Chain A
Amino acid sequence: MTAPSVKRVELDYTGSERLTMNMGPQHPSAHGVFRAVLTLEGETVVGVDSVIGYLHRCHEKLAETLTYAQYPSIASKTDYVAAMTSEFAYVRAAETIGKFEVPKRAQYLRVIVSELQRVASHLLWLGTWCMDMGGALGGGATIFLYCIRERELILDLFESLVGARLLYGFFQVGGVRYDVPDGWIASCRETVDLLDSRISEYEQMLEENPFFMARAQGVGVITRELAESVGISGPLLRGSGVNWDLRRSDPYSSYEDFDFKVPVETAGDCFARYRVRMVEFRESLKIVRQALDRLPEGPISSRPGLKSVGQTRVPKGETYVRVEGARGEVGCYLVADGSAKPYRMKWRGASFSNLAILPHIIPGHKVADIVAIMGSVDPVFGEVDR
């Protein structure tokens, strides 16, 4: 191993009784496989070296070997917690280069599933974050189980829509693969109403709770300049006072039809990120309701159903498209050469950029704060390591 060149901060007293501690890759709050080599002075972290790549599957090389018909079902494996949005980014990139039209119904279905997916992903975030702070043997586990209980409802919806609970393969170039089954819209409405009331319950448990506030407020502050320079996106960026939501600033898939708020908090700490996500829950549910109300009739795909592997060919060209995933800007830089496979694909995982903020903000905090900050960043290692 090469010696890590870690930036260390100095405490304002002399002495160097430093302890190097490995947090991860197997650690209860590593959120997957993340290794942080911490330099500690007592309980205070003075330096951190993050090691990632344990889950690397070389998705970008894989994309060069798979066709536009095959890859969407693999794309869901990048961000497996919000699989719908990662498929979305890839499919949209191919559509942008090929100038394939997407029927209105497909666009609305895409919006519905992406927003439900955002709620599901945020539920998992809230649960795991509270578990990081509260422990599996404390109140955190309670909130975690409540969140999982509600997330199951959304997964049940997805299961009756596509037949799978985690990796969906719902998107295809030109539209979506599945139309809604009978009764799905009614059960979706019921679930959305139930979720709305349950989210208020989480807020009651956390919102003004002194234990929670003490852990979240003023911890892991990201200034606006740092946030932009590192390129973090999504709720983290909005928690740092930047009004930037791709659904609003760069609308795609008929997002301009819907009425929703973009929450912005200026404090930049863990609590601000929590607030942003809690508002996003509600806004996503609002979008789902609107989309269900206005779901147009019509075809779900502008292209014929898939019959063979090389059916979709994309003309020569290159593009970068981005969608607002649950964790931020999920981007796909696609270079097509006219064949059935991409020439090059770069996956901009939101978590990769978001995680890069850690070495900047962790030093100076206590060990216990690291897990709070990690949890508020909400990394998914499938997307970090790709």
Chain B
Amino acid sequence: MAAPEVQTVAQVRAFRDARRTDGTDVVGIVRAILAAMRMTARNLFRKPVTVHYPEKPRTYPDRYRGLLALVYEKDTEEEACIGCRLCEMVCPPAVIKVEMLKSEKRNYAKTFTLELYACEFCELCVQVCPTDAIVMMKSFDMATADRRTLLLDKDRLHAIGLQHQQSWATGNKLRDMQGPPKMARAEHAAKEETPA
């Protein structure tokens, strides 16, 4: 038994002839044509779905994954990033580069660069951040003609953080949601027990 080869022209014609409807059912054809035209006419009177984008910005959902930014700690107003380089290591396209600055009380990021033009917004850096320092913003419009402006350093990342609205996700919230299995299981078991 050999592998099937290219179909011949005769075969193609035979297939086509076998399925050909010779258009004898004129009433059916007319009805189908009218059905299609009725459909388009019906949509003529529906409201258009177009959004006038720059004038009316669309509302972003809470978990929107947009521009990346660094934030300050709420109470002390210090930089939240401790330069631990976890985000640098987890970043699949390797766009984050961090250098750590050792200090007495805590560490800081000496430099923090993010090549936004190669970022794929997978939120893994946010996910691993132990201090909720890197977050995503509910905005994406940083369109530019020069990709060098998308090479973000620490100051620009902090500025973006102040400029836009922050999305829901932070490292701790994400990890909480995914849940340590033991705790979640215990909770789950407790829930099942209560009705019983």
Contacts and interface: CB of A to CB of B under 8 A. Distances in A.
B92 A71 contact: yes
B4 A223 contact: yes
Contacts of B191: 297
Nearest to B19: A218
Q: Which of B9, B62, B92, B188 has the most CB of A within 10 A?
A: B92
Contacts of A303: 181
B4 to A, nearest CB: 4
Interface string B19-33: 111010000110111
A149 B9 contact: no
A164 B121 contact: yes
Contacts of A230: 4
B174 A305 contact: yes
B88 to A, nearest CB: 9
Contacts of A11: 9
Interface string A68-79: 011101100100
A362 B188 CA distance: 56
Interface stretch (B99-107, B122-130, B153-161): B122-130
A74 B92 contact: yes
Given A167-B122, A221-B15, A309-B90, A359 B175 contact: no
Interface in B178-196: 178-181, 184-185, 188, 191
Contacts of B40: 139, 142, 205
A104 to B, nearest CB: 10
A364 B10 CA distance: 8
Contacts, number: 187
Contacts of A360: 4-7
B128 A309 contact: yes
Instruction: Give the interface centre of A146, A160, A307, A361 by most chain B CB atoms within 10 Å.
Output: A307
Q: How would you classify the secondary structure of chain A's contact residues: helix, strand, loop or mixed?
A: loop
Contact of A210 (B15, B29, B122): B29
B177 A7 contact: no
A148 B117 CA distance: 27
B179 A300 contact: yes
Contact of A305 (B4, B6, B62, B179): B179
B123 A169 contact: yes
A179 B20 contact: no
Interface of A: 7, 9-12, 44, 46, 66, 69-71, 73-74, 77, 139, 142, 146, 149, 152, 156, 159-164, 167, 169, 172, 175, 177-179, 181, 201, 204-210, 213, 217-219, 221, 223, 225-226, 229-230, 267, 269, 271, 297-309, 359-361, 363-365
Interface of B: 3-13, 15-21, 23, 28-29, 31-33, 35-36, 38-40, 43, 49, 61-65, 86, 89-90, 92, 120-124, 127-128, 130, 136, 167, 169, 174-181, 184-185, 188, 191
Given A209-B35, A306-B175, 14 more contacts: A66-B92, A139-B40, A152-B49, A163-B65, A164-B121, A178-B63, A178-B177, A205-B36, A226-B7, A305-B176, A307-B86, A360-B4, A360-B6, A364-B7
